[in-house]
Amino acid sequence: MTSAALSFHEVVKSYGNKPALQHVNLEVQAGEAFGLVGMNGAGKTTLLKCMLDFCSMDSGAISIFGVDHHDTAARKPLAFLPERFMPPYYLTGADFLKYTLTLQQIPYDLPEAQQTLAALDLDASALTKPVRAYSKGMTQKLGLAACFLAHKQLYVLDEPMSGLDPKARAMLKARFQELKKNGCTLFFSSHALADVEEICDRMAILHDGKLLFVGTPEQCRQQFSSTTLEQAFLRCIQVD
């Protein structure tokens, strides 16, 4: 029997009288790479925010490795990268990594930090530069490095490829494969369907707050009689 890393049961969330999530039921198994896809405003970030208890749900239940998501301990096994990652601009890269690791009582190791940045194609000189001097992609790489240096079981990443150049994307995908090999769970949102197809064991299509499809990328293509995942996605949400 496989154990669920994440379990969403009948999750409902509205902003005012506008529904953002409508009876979402989903299980992500431990060790899975799972991609959440959907149009802008579909509710992906809201689902992640509910899971992390950053916002309250109207009803439903979420558990992380069997622990209710309201319990702070439920978040201990996970690392999270937000959609708009904005580290304090006055910190250097090294200061930011030390700060986030200290909050988690994880020691900062300079050679490991340098190695982690190199594996994301970020020059080690970024460690001594203030974050305000970073480009968008450099900032994203720093956020990813902070997640990886925390060595968690579960990585919850909101559009992790955002702002990365093709080389960095390839390197991040290699890192994802390594994490999968080590039994880690990946749960990420993405608009890059080719990446989802390449990386993910399973995926979900969220549309107007409702889950329209859950399965493997191959099942998605088959179910919507499509040769590409992009076409299958468009048929699923019926905009082509």
> Which of residues 35, 43, 93, 143 is near ligand ATP by CB under 6 A?
43
Least distance in Å: CB of 237 to ligand ATP? 12
> Which of residues 6, 32, 45, 171 is near ligand ATP by CB under 6 A?
45
> Which of residues 5, 26, 44, 131 is near ligand ATP by CB under 6 A?
44
Q: Does 160 bind ligand ATP (CB under 6 A)?
A: no
Q: Does 162 bind ligand ATP (CB under 6 A)?
A: no
> Which of residues 7, 46, 63, 185 is near ligand ATP by CB under 6 A?
46
List C-alpha distances in Å: 206 to 44, 81, 108: 7, 20, 38
Q: Does 41 bind ligand ATP (CB under 6 A)?
A: yes
Q: What share of the chain is helix, strand, coil (3-state, %, to 5)?
A: 40, 25, 35
Least distance in Å: CB of 67 to ligand ATP? 24
Least distance in Å: CB of 106 to ligand ATP? 29
Is the Cβ of residue 131 or residue 192 nearer to ligand ATP in the bound state?
A: 192
Give, as ranges, the residues between 15 and 34 that touch ligand ATP (CB under 6 A): 15, 20
For the purposes of burial, counting CB atoms within 10 Å of the CB of 73, is it exposed (0-12), middle (13-18) or buried (19 or more)?
exposed
> Which of residues 26, 28, 33, 42 is near ligand ATP by CB under 6 A?
42
Beta bridge partners of 136: none
User: DSSP characters for 106-137?
Assistant: ----HHHHHHHHHTTT--GGGGGSBGGG--HH
Virtual torsion, Cα 223, 161, 12, 33, nearest 10 deg: 60
Is the Cβ of residue 42 or residue 51 nearer to ligand ATP in the bound state?
A: 42
Judge whether 171 and 118 are in contact, CB under 8 Å: no
CA distance 2 to 4: 7
Give the largest Cα separation in the chain, rounded.
Answer: 51
Least distance in Å: CB of 230 to ligand ATP? 15
Rounded to 10 deg, the angle between the 136-149 and 93-103 helix axes is 30
| Number of residues binding to ligand ATP, judged by CB under 6 A | 11
Contacts with ligand ATP by CB under 6 A lie at: 15, 20, 38, 40-46, 83
